[in-house]
Structure 1
Amino acid sequence: MIAVNQFRRAEKLELDVQFDGDAPPVLVIPGLLANDGTTSLLRRTLAASGFPTYPSGFGLLTGVTPQRLEKARLRLAEMHERHKERAVIVGWSLGGIYARVLAQRHPDLIKMVVTLGSPFSGDPHANNAWRIYNALNDHTVSEPNLPDDPSVKPPVHTVAIWSQADGVIAPECAMGEGVERDAEYLVNIPHMAFGSGKRAAAIVTRIVSSELKNA
């Protein structure tokens, strides 16, 4: 685990940290009640570091649906055809649930999963967003609209980035258990900054670059 005080130094990271090697494509998925506009800085930072980067194309994300999962699969297949390389998925909050499920289903298309404050582990009612999710959907966090279990580690390299200062997602739910991910990083970032903050974008880019050596 990387301690929060170590990553405070990452505030000084430049946005054009270069990936050492042939960078795989990256698909970035936003969180609940967010869209691709909210992850534009993160995607630009990844792109400036050499990663071919793609938005989800989901529009406003309100829940998990089979239609969006299929749309993501098609996008991943197109990315694979274009780059001849499996993709990295970076999923913020609810987007991380999509990322883990997609990697469970399609490891042939995905090289690594990175979740940012995503509630993939433990009790979904331990988080502050479950009432909003339930109100927006025809299913609940207790009875999700998919047969998959997001807590099961996908058969690809899986990284969880979490924060004690999250404020929305309980830290233990975003960190997960040892059997549920390969690596985890503790950072001092509020939940709403994970996908849109300059400091967060630099930290996430550095972690993606570093962890690809293990993927």
Structure 2
Amino acid sequence: MYPPSIGPLKPPTKFNTLKEIRAPLEWLFAYGNRRKLADVPQGDGRILVLVPGYGADEWSMRPLKKFLQSINYQVFDWGHGRNRGHVKHDTALLANTIKTISENHSQQAVTIIGWSLGGVLAREVARLHPACVSEVITMGTPLVGGPKYTVLAQKYAKSMDMNLDHYETEIHEINAQGITQPVTVIYSKSDGVVGWNAAIDRYNEQARNIEVSCSHLGMGVNARVWQIIAETLAASNNTSKAMT
């Protein structure tokens, strides 16, 4: 079913999941990230929208938001509080947010940065509304199989009354349609929530898959992740594409 280079697919190891206990330390160290990243390129003022992961809200994206604002980007929250995992419903909410922000800023297309499930929403909005989205960056996002290769698979499936195998097929069919925008995928082989091999984009030729070393819960405050995001944004066109 999948592109040949994918497999084997499996949830994170128990060891990796146990190592997620280091996340509080990663959050603590985040306060020193700005000093470490003093030389990252400055932004061009474009619009960015941050989307939190499953069970998280805008607060989880606050350190990254402040960093991106400090290097001259206009940064918006997704605006819908806690991400409760209702993908289709939340995709529609995010799409409306993106359209409103774009309309209020001279029809400027936006870059969406999504953490974990937030990256799924970002990619889906980019696929469905390509004129509104100039670029997508994901962090530890379960791209393959939906929740099937995550530690929360059974809990999520039960809460959503979902058949994981059927949903995996549905996600594959959606992924196979592709995304036209630049896509940067940040993943970690030590991710203790999402199986790392399911967090890599092998559907889109333009996708850049970049490995980092950090926990899943600490990915959004990791200095190397912030550096990758800043350098990715700087390498993009200085002017976001306008809606057509």
Please classify the TM superposition score into its range, dividing by the shorter chain length.
Answer: 0.7 to 0.9
Q: Which residue of 2 aligns with 1:3?
A: none
| Root-mean-square deviation (Å) | 2.8
- The answer for the alignment partner of 1:208 in structure 2 is 232
Q: Partner of 1:149 in structure 2?
A: 174
Are 1:91 and 2:114 counterparts?
yes
2:69 to 22, 25, 47: 47
Distance 1:169 1:163 in 2: 9
Distance 1:198 1:121, change over 3 A: closer
Moved more, 72-81 or 29-38: 72-81
Cα distance in 1 for partners of 2:91, 2:59 equals 19
* Secondary structure of residue in 2 paired with 1:71: helix
Instruction: Supply the AA of the counterpart residue of 1:92.
Output: W
Distance, in Å, in 2 between the alignment partners of 1:151 and 1:46 is: 32
Q: Is the 8 A contact 2:109 2:132 kept in 1?
A: yes
Larger radius of gyration between Structure 1 and Structure 2: 2
Distance 2:146 2:96 in 1: 31
Structure 2 residue 192 is matched with structure 1 residue 170: no
Query: Percentage identity across aligned positions?
Result: 23
- CA displacement, residues 114-164 of structure 1 (integer Å, 9 cap, x when unaligned): 1100011257433222123223323354445x8872464311111111111
Report the Cα distance in structure 2 between the residues aligned to 1:95 and 1:150, rounded to whole angstroms.
16
Kept after mapping to 1: 8 A contact 2:182/2:207: yes
1:172-191 per-position Cα deviation (integer Å, ceiling 9, x unaligned) = 11122163652111111210
Query: Is this contact kept in 1: 2:113–2:137, CA < 8 A?
Result: yes
Relative to 1, partners in 2 of residues 1:159 and 1:137: Cα closer, same or farther, differing over 3 Å? Answer: same
Alignment of 1:119-158 (within 5 A): 119-122=142-145, 124-144=147-167, 149-150=174-175, 152-158=177-183
Q: Say whether the 8 Å CA contact 1:45–1:205 is kept in structure 2.
A: no
Kept in 1: contact 2:40–2:231 (CA 8 A) = no
Q: Aligned pair in 2 of structure 1 residues 107, 123: CA closer, same or farther (>3 Å)?
A: closer
Q: Bigger CA drift: 38-47 or 117-126?
A: 117-126
Equivalent residue for 2:133, pick from 107, 110, 122: 110
The residue correspondences of 1:158-197 to structure 2 (distance < 5 A) are: 158-177=183-202, 179=204, 182-195=207-220, 197=221
Equivalences for 1:8-27 in 2 at 5 Å?
A: 12-14=36-38, 17-20=40-43, 22-27=44-49
Aligned positions, number: 202
Letter in 2 for 1:37: W
1:77 alignment partner in structure 2:
99
Aligned-partner Cα distance in 1 for 2:185–2:193? 16
Cα gap change, 1:171/1:207 in structure 2, threshold over 3 Å: closer, same or farther?
A: farther
In structure 2, runs of 5+ residues without a counterpart are 1-32
Indicate conservation of the 8 Å contact 1:100/1:150, yes or no: no
CA distance, structure 1, for counterparts of residue 152 and residue 79 of structure 2: 23
Structure 2 distance, partners of 1:18, 1:102, is 27
1:167 and 1:80 mapped to 2: Cα distance?
35
Shift of 1:38: 0.7
Distance in 1 separating the partners of 2:98 and 2:146: 30
Contact 2:52/2:118 (CA < 8 Å) preserved in 1?
yes
> Counterpart in 2 of 1:33?
55
| Cα pair distance change 1:33/1:128, threshold 3 Å | same
Aligned amino acid, residue 171 of structure 1: W
Partner of 1:61: 83
